[in-house]
Amino acid sequence: MLSSSCFHRSGLIQHRSNSPLGALVAQPALNCAAPGVRIHGQQSSSACKHQASTHLLRGPALSSWSTRTGGRIVGVQGQASETLNLPYDIDLEQPLPGFDSIKDALADLAAGKFLVVLDDENRENEGDLIIAADKATTEAMAFMVEYTSGVICIGMEGRDLDRLRLPLMVSSAENEEAMYTAFTVTVDLRDGITTGISAADRANTIRKLADPSARPEEFRRPGHIFPLRYRPGGVIVRPGHTEASVDLSRLAGCSPAGVLCEIVNKSDGSMSRTPELLQFAKEHGLKCITIADLIRYRLRHEQLVSHTSVAQLPTRHGMLTAHTFTSAIDGTEHVCFTAGELQGRESVLAHVHHESMVADLLGCAPTSNSPSTGTSLDSALQRISAEGHGVVIYLRNQAHKSAESSGKAAIDLCDYALAAQMLSALGAKSIRLASNTPEQMQALRSCGVKVEALVSPLWTSFAANGSAHHKQLPAMHSSR
């Protein structure tokens, strides 16, 4: 739990601490620029062809951290991280054009139907047939074998694989599969089947694997079913079909295990791509969805943060309140600094600040277009204190995604989903967003935040005139 002593910085809070934000000797702010590392989103090349997109950037291994170097993310175990283009200019409830909604897909999955699930064109660029494992039947397996590569896999949570004593086929360090898919040893059901390869045998094995009462001795190794280890956090952490199969099954109210296999063209055995996959789904009456939409659905409907502590903070700008929120995705503690009571308040001044350790602790300007005096964090705290009501959302353990001098920002939609839930927990009904990037406003709106207006950046208004007034940018009012 973070306390008030955590937020020491030069002249801001009169405490010292060994915590990440507090391990600094009190000293005046330095007049220097520290742009930090910026990793920018790229335009998506998916079927929707959206102009606005964001990269979801996460670590590659089951429990490894990532190191960001030179604008590219590299896992500590040597595995390249994955990126996925997500639109931030449409509501999270709305599916990408041409695809079905996650809500409708979950209803079909709960009824025992298949789904066609596409990943990003910049990833595998493949579509899988997915069905809930506890709904697997002989007929379903026969259909899957006919229209796919035939390598039938089942995504499962680590705790269930551990209970069944199904270790990884190779260690994470030795995994050379293109997407570092976590294959375990293969299995067949020990009793009640023949060779294990028929549709009926595979259906029986799959249903038993999904049975929470199944025991290790009920399976023989090797076999004809390929269990895959689901990465904790699911598609939010790794945007793959393994994670999608488990997330979809869980969200549909089924056992958290999903059967999956890649759809191929029957004429030549080649992998089916988006046009063929959409046509395949139409011909067989199946819902066709994207992993991008599944991520967006989870960001909107799942509780991503918990409000863990509150502390009063005496700062050089006056008394503020620090609210800590713990992320359910990776356990990171984020902080909201508030001035005044926000519950039920409209038009709250808000600033989303991404942690930049050197700039925040030494008082350096975080971006090339920031003034040389003070920091965006310090000026933001000064501003909300002067206004009497406001919030600075401090997102920790993040790549630095502040605006470039061009005004374009690197947008991670997950950041803004977290921010939206923190604003909701604090009771703010609507906000004025202090930012010079409309993309941030679009991202928050897509996550359900009512953004009344975009106002000039906090650090710019203070450095320019030292007043508590702000400039409102034109034509940025919300229609919601």
pLDDT digits (tens, 9 = 90+) for 211-223: 999 999 999 999 9
Phi and psi at residue 417, to the nearest 5°:
-65, -40
Question: Is residue 329 scored above 70 in pLDDT?
Answer: yes
> Mean pLDDT score of the chain, rounded to an integer?
78
Q: What is the pLDDT of residue 82?
A: 56
Mean pLDDT of 369-373: 32
For residue 468, what pLDDT band results from cuts at 50, 70 and 90? very low
Mean pLDDT of 285-299: 96
Q: What is the pLDDT of residue 54?
A: 46
Q: Which residue has the tokens 């679009």?
A: 442
Question: Is residue 301 scored above 70 in pLDDT?
Answer: yes
Q: Which of 104-108, 195-199, 228-232, 329-333 has the lowest mean pLDDT?
A: 329-333
Q: Which residue has the higher pLDDT, 137 or 32?
A: 137
Phi and psi at residue 208, to the nearest 5°:
-70, -40
Select, from the ranges 88-102, 369-383, 415-429, the one with the highest average predicted confidence (pLDDT): 415-429
Q: What is the pLDDT of residue 171?
A: 86
Q: What is the pLDDT of residue 451?
A: 96
Question: Is residue 281 scored above 50 in pLDDT?
Answer: yes
Q: What is the pLDDT of residue 453?
A: 93
Q: What is the pLDDT of residue 135?
A: 98
Q: What is the pLDDT of residue 89?
A: 83
pTM of the model: 0.77
Q: Which residue has the tokens 């002593």?
A: 5
Q: What is the pLDDT of residue 108?
A: 98
Mean pLDDT of 413-433: 95
Q: Which residue has the higher pLDDT, 150 or 22?
A: 150
Q: What is the pLDDT of residue 404?
A: 38
Select, from the ranges 205-209, 236-240, 462-466, the one with the highest average predicted confidence (pLDDT): 205-209
Select, from the ranges 54-68, 379-393, 416-430, the one with the highest average predicted confidence (pLDDT): 416-430
Q: Which residue has the tokens 């030549």?
A: 268
Q: What is the pLDDT of residue 184?
A: 96
Q: Which residue has the higher pLDDT, 357 or 426?
A: 426
In angstroms, rounded to a whole number, what is the distance separating the alpha carbons of residues 123 and 115? 19
Mean pLDDT of 413-423: 95
Mean pLDDT of 259-287: 94
pLDDT digit string, tens, across residues 111-166: 999 999 998 776 667 899 999 999 999 999 999 999 999 999 999 999 999 999 99
Question: Is residue 175 scored above 70 in pLDDT?
Answer: yes
Mean pLDDT of 406-426: 83
For residue 46, what pLDDT band results from cuts at 50, 70 and 90? very low
